[in-house]
Amino acid sequence: MNFMRPNISTGTRKGWGGDIRRRIAMISHCFRNGSNLEALRLFRQMQYDGLPPNRFILPGLLRSASNLSDTSTGRFLHSLAIRSLLTPDAFISSALIEFYSKHGRIKDARHVFDETPEKDLVVWNSMVSGYACCNGLLEEATSLFRKMQSCGPKPDLLTWNSLISGFSQSGYEQKALELLDSMRAAGIEADVFSWTSLISGSVRNFNYGRAFLFFRQMVGVAGISPNATTISSLLPAPANVMNLRRGREIHGFSVVAGVERDLFVSTALVDMYGKCGVIFDAEKVFDHMPGRNTISWNSMVFAYANHGCCKKAIQLFNQMEIYGATPDHLTFTAVLAACSHTGMVQLGNHFFWLMQEGHGIAPMLEHYACMVDLLGRAGKVFEAYDLISGMPMEPDFFVWGALLGACRLHINVKLSKIAARHLNELEPKSAASCLLLSSVLMNCGMLEDAEKIKKLLKKRKSTRYVGCSWTQAAASLRLCE
């Protein structure tokens, strides 16, 4: 967003006081309602009319720019604050540190921190959090934390939580636990955010058992009730290990805590029930959601597609557009997978075209994997190979794997060898491609060649990937990012 230089004249200076208060009230209303673009538009008009900036709205404007990933406007607001002699104000400095940290400009954040002579607790917290949570610079965060303690300004719960979150999200769970103990020794009790950081960090690092343990300690030992963030952070654990009993327990906690209807909790519940194969419960949660976003729709579409309810998946996609929700790359991955499972080549081609021409979404590797699988299952293996040959990026393991799977189904030795060679180059330690090629050769009666491959595998002692199709694996990996 480009701001115009204000044209200050005598006429615009009259009645500044009341006009400024009115404009600030309007901008503040936009902050409360999440209208980031409108807030910046009103401020641009305020500047054009020659009204001076205010230290109380600049932090909110910086957060609006941050929410919109509008770094140029953020830098403009920083320069405006300097020109208007509003820096080094601690209130504005903390907002600038948060802005720069969230956009990876940690050196700029540190410069603002160093240039702030009177650093209050909020400024220290912002910088520690910027290092630990936004950029994973744990040594720098710890060093600044110790410096903060040596200066005497005392770390509060927010500062401790920032460090705990940073270490937990980076996989250093033991260090996060030690920080929790140190916090208690300092006379500060852990709160729901402390425990949620430990839980979400464990889930993010696939340590689901420890995540459940932290949850039990939080509720049973510490006596802290989970909030919506806690529940939505924990639900991927039972979803990814398909532990329905655990999932139902967490669902029960969400009801007791009164957060069952929360958008993120409901979406996580749909995803959990879908991955556990309980489609009826996933539908029930989805149907009772007071509001839905694109992720909510995607979770239900994936649930249908992954469990063979392909017509329902496509019907839901059509409803999604009727309700005004915007499909994204994951939505199209799901509907393309659904088309593949039911052999609907024409409809799959339509969605592949619609994604690009109707929604301006460039195909990603998982979309190509779905299309190769779709064409291959329908016996169009040469069309699938032509599609791979025309890809604008290098095909990955899943794309070649989808072709090899199709060649096995339709016994195409020539393309099987091509796909197997590429797979072997991409994953030399995996036995999956060689096993599939061996199966193709055996089906063609080429027993001697198949036996040679088996002997080679025994010699290499290769590992074997089991229990997951190429397209399912591609979709699952992308959904968890």
Alpha helices, H only, 288-328: 294-306, 310-322
Q: What is the pLDDT of residues 112-138, one digit of tens each?
A: 999 998 888 899 999 999 999 888 899
**Segment 185-209 mean pLDDT:** 92
Using CA atoms of 259, 260, 263, 264 in order, give the dihedral in degrees to the nearest 10: 80
Q: Is the distance from CB of 198 to CB of 214 less than 8 angstroms?
A: yes
Each as own residue / partner, the long-range contacts of residues 138-144 (CB below 8 Å, 24 or more positions apart, any chain) are 138/166, 138/167, 138/170, 138/172, 141/166
- pTM of the predicted protein model: 0.76
Half-sphere exposure of 398 (CA within 13 A, CB side): 20
Q: Which two tokens stand for residue 26?
A: 């309007």
- Judge whether residue 395 has pLDDT over 70: yes
Predicted confidence at residue 449, as pLDDT, reads 61
Q: What is the pLDDT of residue 30?
A: 85
Evaluate if residue 152 carries a pLDDT over 70: yes
Whether the pLDDT of residue 51 is over 90: the answer is no
Determine, yes or no, domain membership for 78.
yes
For residue 34, being part of any structural domain is answered with yes
pLDDT of residue 133: 86
pLDDT band at 447 (very low <50, low <70, confident <90, very high): low
Using 50, 70 and 90 to split pLDDT, how confident is the model at 448? low
C-alpha span between 346 and 96 (Å, rounded): 52
107, with CB counted inside 10 A (0-12, 13-18, 19+), is exposed
Range of the domain at 54: 1-86
Least reliable range by pLDDT among 18-27, 76-85, 312-321, 420-429: 420-429
* Domain-embedded: residue 103: no
Evaluate whether residue 199 is within a structural domain: no
Radius of gyration, CA atoms only, the chain: 28
Residue 460 has pLDDT above 60, yes or no: no
The whole-number average pLDDT for the span 240-257 is: 92
* Residue 169: inside a domain: no
Which of the four pLDDT bands, split at 50, 70 and 90, describes residue 473? very low
* pLDDT on residue 171: 87
User: Based on the structure, what is the number of domains in the chain?
Assistant: 1
Q: Is residue 315 part of a domain?
A: no
445 compared with 387, residue with greater pLDDT: 387
Q: Considering only 5-19, 93-107, 310-324, which range has the smallest mean pLDDT?
A: 5-19
Q: Which pLDDT score is estimated for 357?
A: 93
* 333 located within any domain: no
Residue 149: inside a domain, yes or no? Answer: no
| % residues pLDDT > 70 (the chain) | 85
